Amino acid sequence: MISKLLILEEKDSWSEILTSNLSETNFRFALYRASTREECLETLSDQSIDVILLNINPGDTSGFNLLKELTKIFPDIPFIVLSTQNNDVIGIQAIRAGAQDFIPLVELDARRLSRSIRYAMLRSKSQNQLREEVRELARNKKYFLEVQKLAKFGNWEMDIVTNAMKWSDEVFRIFGFTPNSISPSLSNYLDSVHPLDKERVDTFFEETTRDGKVHRMQHRILVAGKTIKTIALQAKVNYDETEQKIVLIGGLQDISDLRFISLESF
């Protein structure tokens, strides 16, 4: 496979050096050259470039600004910074600006160059895969939250020592709160429970913490002290390996509409 390389520089010196070094290896490549930002963008619009090599020297702030700009526009393409100076500051700034590697002229040889290009492509591929996985997780979470909202279903967990709870957005909505507007606890949950059901719900949480079985019940809650909702609640004890503690996990669903339909059907 032929790797397409783009060298961005004002003069031809680096192009000749790169071509000479890579010709000594079995690395198959096609080298493109751009002397300006506009030429670089034009080449990138016409060619599927695998690696961009950018020449930056001490005091060249425009070079670093261009590197930052290009890495934002083309996050999937790896960058290697070249310099005539063996300057650690340039190397550090280059990596911080988004480059995969930094090669000073004094360290440049066929082996160093080909290894840097190969590693840059491999690292970039891994980073691109990770970014895609993160985007996919974000998409899945968004869809999951939408489904929860449509089904009026939410999930929660509770620390059985402190009784601190974590609610999904839909749990907040079911109880009449704006998501993340409070730091929920069992007390907040019980405060919303209908007075006639409070003893049963309190007993439910106590019994659920004693075994590993799934417990289920239905009860009513009061939202804003006036709206009555019917909740289907389920929970079980679970060991959180990440935080190494025992928690109560569960889900709940607002089934008020379902109960209404059921009653109307008789």
pLDDT at 235: 94
- Residue 264: pLDDT band (50, 70, 90) is very low
For tokens 């425009």, what's the residue? 62
Give the residue, 150 or 164, on which the prediction is more confident.
164
- Residue 199: pLDDT band (50, 70, 90) is very high
**Residue range 224-236: mean pLDDT, rounded:** 91
**Residue range 238-258: mean pLDDT, rounded:** 85
Directed axis angle between helix 13-22 and helix 110-151, to 10°?
100
Is the pLDDT score of 177 beyond 90? yes
pLDDT above 70 coverage of the chain, percent: 93
For tokens 């096609």, what's the residue? 30
Long-range contacts of 81-89 (CB under 8 A, 24+ apart): 81/53, 81/54, 81/55, 81/56, 82/9, 82/14, 82/53, 82/54, 82/55, 82/56, 82/108, 83/55, 83/56, 83/57, 83/58, 84/57, 85/57, 85/58, 87/58, 89/58
CB 53 within 8 A of CB 5: yes
- pLDDT tens digits, one per residue of 92-112: 888 888 898 999 888 888 888
The CATH number of 152-264, from 3.40.718.10, 3.30.70.100, 3.30.450.20, 3.90.1150.10, is: 3.30.450.20
Q: Enumerate residues 6+ apart whose C-beta is below 8 A from 261.
A: none
The residue among 158, 169, 144 whose CA lies nearest residue 238 is: 158
Cα separation, 33 vs 35, in Å, equals 7
pLDDT at 12: 63
Instruction: Tell me if domain 3-138 and domain 152-264 are identical in fold.
Output: no
- pLDDT tens digits, one per residue of 113-130: 888 998 888 888 887 887
Is the pLDDT score of 203 beyond 80? yes
- pLDDT tens digits, one per residue of 27-79: 888 989 998 889 999 999 999 999 999 988 767 788 888 899 999 999 889 99
3-138: CATH class:
alpha beta
- pLDDT tens digits, one per residue of 138-161: 777 776 667 667 768 889 999 999
**Residue range 221-232: mean pLDDT, rounded:** 91
Other CB atoms closer than 10 Å to residue 222's CB: what's the count?
Answer: 17
Domain ranges of the chain: 3-138, 152-264
- Residue 260: pLDDT band (50, 70, 90) is very low
Average pLDDT, the chain: 86
**Residue range 198-210: mean pLDDT, rounded:** 93
CB 192 within 8 A of CB 173: no
**Residue range 192-215: mean pLDDT, rounded:** 93
pLDDT at 108: 85
